[in-house]
Amino acid sequence: MKKFEVPEHYRSNILGRIKEIRKVNDPRKKDHSPYVFHVGKTEFVIPRHFGFCYGVENAIEIAFRTVAENPGKRIFLLGEMIHNPQVNEDLIAEGIQFLVDNHGNRLVDFSTLSSEDIVITPAFGTTVEIAAELAELGVHLERYNTTCPFVEKVWKRSAELGNRGYTLVVHGKYLHEETRATFSHAAETGPVVVVRNRKEAELLARYIRKEMSDEQFEIDFANKCSSGFVASRDLQKIGVVNQTTMLASETQEIAAYLRDIVVEMYGEEATTDTRDTLCYATNDNQNATIGVLESGAQLAVVVGGFNSSNTIQIATILGEKMPVYFVRNASDFISLEKAIVFNSKTLKEEEIAPSLLQQENLKIVVTSGASCPDKIVDHVIQRILELRGETESVESALEGRI
């Protein structure tokens, strides 16, 4: 696996040491059991996989290298580099300007750009339309493209299927930057429709079975299907791909469900296996999260951006088994009486009293999303120990173990 150069202040000596020993003992990543250690009366459960993935490290390395190699030039980002507030704030501090917000609204008039400006494509990628518009202005994205290789793999598979006459069903959040980009690329070669969850997949199945009209489809899937989509014509042969940060098991469930419906209606050749498009890093992190569910922990702390899809999935998995405090960083734990957390069910920010941290003996899962620097998780662990009044250091607790 390639080693990336990311800023040193994103790395954690503590979590780095834990990851290294797990890598040595389990190089093929088959053991999803967590790493457990005690600090006083606090027992930490650390999943096998968490934090920066390949695509995120690749994007961060390119972005910071671009700044270093182009002093004096105007540098722009086509939206958030990744969904982590600290990383994006760091990039802004380096002088990078954002061209659009998370919803695609323009923050800078594109007509003010020129061939002298540098525009970085974020890890989520960008749409065919935006790339073409920038190219007309003399701005080319190839040199400073940080699109995740696994997102590009989905695009390539989508193009292949579209050229073979398949309609693409994208499992994703249709307003998410990655899904908008995947939708745009897939629509270059064939019809595309987006489903958010199993409920929307079941609605789509009614159109596959021709139980509902094409006119009603235009209402139910408005803004979620490509131009000119006709349900009675375009749902006879499908392939399912996903937004790479969605819950992999849910994508597989939706794909299997729709496959059965299409085969029933049109035969075996009407669908195809697309499991090869699932992101291995997302899968590893989600499997590792599942691996801590039976650890006996009383609480989980999930660290990451509140708009991070993969982090929300991790919080959702853990929330089925235990209470979850989903925070952006250590500062969200203001005191034992007050914390700012994100509710992964309501998708809203809340103020709570983190009273579970006051238990005398506490077993706690600590993990993070794929866009969260380990150093931020390190700070959260230290903050938990501070609030609990633990005097032993993490380093001394780990001494001799790793």
Active site residues: 178
Q: Burial letters for 302-330: b for 16+ Cβ neighbours within 10 Å, e otherwise?
A: bbbbbbbbbbbbbbbbbbebbebbbbbbb
Helices (H), 30-186: 54-69, 85-93, 128-136, 149-163, 177-186
CB 29 within 8 A of CB 284: yes
Of 78, 312, 254, 89, nearest to 178 (Cα)?
78
Token pair belonging to 144: 């400073």
Token pair belonging to 173: 């959040």
Q: Chain centroid to CA 324: how far?
A: 18
| Spatial distance between the Cα atoms of 180 and 185, rounded to a whole number of angstroms | 9
What is the CB-side half-sphere exposure of residue 242 using CA atoms within 13 A?
28
The residue behind tokens 């994703």 is 172
| Spatial distance between the Cα atoms of 75 and 219, rounded to a whole number of angstroms | 41
Alpha-carbon torsion (354, 359, 364, 366), positive or negative: positive
136-141: long-range contacts, CB 8 A cutoff, minimum separation 24: 137/110, 137/111, 137/113, 138/114, 139/113, 139/114, 139/115, 141/78
